[in-house]
Amino acid sequence: MTEALVVDSLHVSYITQSGLVPALRNVSLSIASNEILGLVGESGSGKSTMAQAVMRLLKPDVATVDGRILVDGQDLYQLTPEELRLTRWRKIAMVFQSSMNALNPVLSIQEHFADTMEAHIPGITRDEILKRTADLLEQVRLDPAVARSYAHELSGGMRQRVVIALSLALDPSVLIMDEPTTALDVVVQRSILDEIAALQKQRQLAVLFISHDFNLVSGLANRIAVMYAGEIMEITDRGMALEDAREHHPYTQGLMRAAPRLVGTKVSIEGIPGEPPDMTQLGPGCPFFDRCPERLPMCRTTPLPSKSGRVYIRCHAMPDPVVEKVKRP
């Protein structure tokens, strides 16, 4: 299996008036081509920071970044600005959290596609641009005539489809999607997710799909990474059925018990007592220590072990999951 994206020992800290504040700590994961990795976590856990760090979008005066990001084997942080410009869109593209509101209101949809293609494909002809734009719009099930519209003439779901089509304009191998359907109604959301799944298979894309919605991600992703206080606690390829809860990290178990279920017998829910830690006051041990029902005395003082690999659990009280053949949903 070829790894299209490798994140190796990533540390990110924001530069603030009160000093460096960690946002990501020792994050490692990899995504194979033709695979969707879901990244879930509560708000503030560091998901968007992760997306921006992977795209190398955090400016040196905003945050310090340490670690390696390999796209098709090439370290993004070793590239010159010009190499970086060519790599983004072509090899790795991103759909931002609120990008459907980021379309330029005075440019037609066609012009957005033209700008992107002209900047990256020297000598591309007008005809070629028109043809490719129409193809891309059709792939996200929009009428090619949408190219002549402006953002304000389109519904939220249509704008989000445009943004997804635009991210695919240069046929990248890796796609980062940060809460791409969060503001949409469930029916529109579901149909866009179906399209993402179809495009991903067709184009053999490696997708990092970020969401706060556990249920949504479990329906889409091959594996799920669970983030808490800037650390990945678990990467799992297991189902999220409640019967299997005990196989997961204590934090994942907490999330699973907190979510009401749509199907199956009705079960009671409970929150995870307490709140996420203050990132300026983190101790050396597990960040979930204060809230964890399984904690051991060592958890407070012993750093979580570094892990990599397709699935893992970072917890002093739990063994790693038994690695099976990768499940496809």
Ligand X SMILES: Nc1ncnc2c1ncn2[C@@H]1O[C@H](COP(=O)(O)OP(=O)(O)O)[C@@H](O)[C@H]1O
Contact between 182 and Mg ion per CB under 5 A: no
**Considering CB distances under 5 to 8 angstroms, the limit depending on partner class, which of ligand X, ligand SF4, other proteins, none binds residue 272?**
other proteins
Q: What is the CB neighbour count within 10 angstroms for residue 274?
A: 10
Q: Which residues contact 55 (CB under 8 A, 6 or more apart)?
A: 76, 88, 92, 94, 176
CA distance 309 to 329: 20
Return the residues of window 279-318 that contact ligand SF4 according to CB under 6 A. Answer: 286, 288-289, 292, 294-296, 299, 315-317
Return the residues of window 204-263 that contact other proteins according to CB under 8 A. Answer: 212-216, 218-219, 254-255, 257-263
Binding mask 242-281 for ligand SF4 (x = CB under 6 A): --------xx------------------------------
32 contacts 1 by C-beta, under 8 angstroms: yes
Backbone angles phi, psi at 324, to 5 degrees: -110, 180
Residue in 68, 150, 191, 307 binding other proteins, rule: CB under 8 A: 191
9 contacts 67 by C-beta, under 8 angstroms: yes
Nearer to Mg ion, 14 or 150 (CB): 14
Look up tokens 């700590």; give the residue: 25
200 contacts 207 by C-beta, under 8 angstroms: yes
Where does this chain touch Mg ion (CB under 5 A) — which range of 46-54, 231-239, 262-270, 271-279? 46-54
199 contacts 135 by C-beta, under 8 angstroms: no
Nearer to other proteins, 49 or 189 (CB): 189
Contact between 145 and other proteins per CB under 8 A: no
> Looking at residue 55, what DSSP letter applies?
T
Using CB under 5 A, count the residues that bind Mg ion. 2
Q: Of 129, 83, 88, 80, which is closest to residue 109 (Cα–Cα)? A: 129
CA distance 31 to 35: 6
**Considering CB distances under 5 to 8 angstroms, the limit depending on partner class, which of Mg ion, other proteins, ligand SF4, none binds residue 260?**
other proteins
Which residues contact other proteins by CB under 8 A?
A: 42-43, 155, 157, 185-191, 194, 212-216, 218-219, 254-255, 257-263, 266, 268-272, 275
Which residues contact Mg ion by CB under 5 A?
A: 47-48
Which residues contact ligand X by CB under 6 A?
A: 14, 16, 21, 23, 41, 43-49, 62, 279
